[in-house]
A and B are shown apart, each in its own frame.
Chain A
Amino acid sequence: MGWELYVLKAVAVLLIFGGVLSVVPFLVFFERKISAFIQDRVGPNRVGLAGPDSLLEAFGFRKGTRRVLGGWLQPLADVIKLFTKEALIPAHADRPLYLLAPLFAVLPPLLAFVVIPVGQDIVVSSGVLVKLQVADLHVGILFVLAVASLSAYGLAFGGWASNSKFPLLGGVRAMAQMVSYEVGMVLVILALVMSYDSVSLRDMVSRQAAGGTLLGIWDCDGDWIWGWGLFHQPLAFVLFAICALAENNRLPFDLPECESELVGGYHTEYSSMGFGMFFQGEYIAMMAMGGLLATMFLGGWHYPGYAWLNASDSLLVHLLAALIGLAVFGVKMLGFVFFAMWVRWTLPRFRWDQLMRVGWKGIIPLALANLVLTAALNLPAPAPAHEKPDRNLTAVTRDR
Chain B
Amino acid sequence: MATLIFWLVVLVTVASAIAVVTARNILHAAFSLCLTFLGVAATYIFLHADFVAAVQLIVYVGGILVLIMFAIMFSSNVVEDTAEGRRGLLALGAGAAGMAAVFAAVLLLTSRLAEPLKTANPCANVAYAATVSVEAGQTGIGHCLMGPYLLPFEVVSVLLLAALIGAVVIVRKEVR
Contacts and interface: CB of A to CB of B under 8 A. Distances in A.
Interface in A104-149: 137-139, 142-143, 145-149
Contacts, number: 80
A157 B2 CA distance: 32
Interface residues of B, number: 26
Contact of B134 (A138, A146, A178): A138
B54 A145 contact: yes
Contact of A100 (B25, B31, B135): B31
Contacts of B69: 153, 156, 175
A6 B1 contact: yes
Interface in A313-350: none
Contacts of B11: none
Interface string B44-81: 00000011011101100111001001100110000000
B58 A171 contact: no
B54 A146 contact: yes
Given A142-B51, A175-B73, A97 B27 contact: yes
Contact of A138 (B28, B31, B50): B50
A179 B63 CA distance: 7
Contacts of A56: none
B133 to A, nearest CB: 9
A286 interface: no
Contacts of B74: 172
Contacts of A186: 58
B138 interface: yes
B119 to A, nearest CB: 18
Contact of A97 (B28, B54, B61): B28
Contacts of B50: 137-139, 143
A138 B51 CA distance: 8
A96 B28 CA distance: 9
Q: Which of B28, B66, B134, B138 has the most CB of A within 10 A?
A: B66
A94 B62 contact: no
A147 B62 CA distance: 9
Contacts of A391: 135
A373 to B, nearest CB: 20
Contacts of B53: 139, 146
A143 B27 contact: no
A61 interface: no
A182 interface: yes
Contacts of B28: 94, 96-97
Contacts of A182: 62
Contacts of B25: 94
Nearest to B49: A139
Contacts of A147: 57
B29 to A, nearest CB: 11
Contacts of A94: 25, 27-28
A172 B27 CA distance: 13
Interface in A210-265: none
Interface string A77-97: 000000000000000001011
A94 B2 CA distance: 35
B61 A149 contact: yes
A142 B55 contact: yes
Interface in B1-41: 1-2, 25, 27-28, 31, 34, 41
B51 A153 contact: no
A146 B73 contact: no
A171 B1 CA distance: 38
A59 interface: no
A1 B1 contact: yes
A171 B73 CA distance: 9
Interface in A383-400: 391
Given A176-B70, A182-B62, 8 more contacts: A1-B2, A137-B50, A139-B51, A145-B58, A150-B62, A153-B69, A156-B73, A186-B58
Interface of A: 1, 3, 6, 94, 96-97, 100, 137-139, 142-143, 145-150, 152-153, 156-157, 160-161, 168, 171-172, 175-176, 178-179, 182, 186, 199, 391
22 contacts: A3-B1, A94-B28, A96-B28, A97-B28, A100-B31, A137-B50, A142-B54, A142-B55, A145-B62, A146-B54, A146-B57, A149-B61, A149-B66, A150-B34, A150-B61, A150-B62, A157-B31, A160-B73, A175-B69, A175-B70, A179-B66, A186-B58
> Which 8 pairs between the two chains have the least Cβ-Cβ distance?
A149-B62, A146-B57, A142-B54, A139-B54, A139-B50, A146-B54, A138-B134, A146-B58
Interface of B: 1-2, 25, 27-28, 31, 34, 41, 50-51, 53-55, 57-58, 61-63, 66, 69-70, 73-74, 134-135, 138
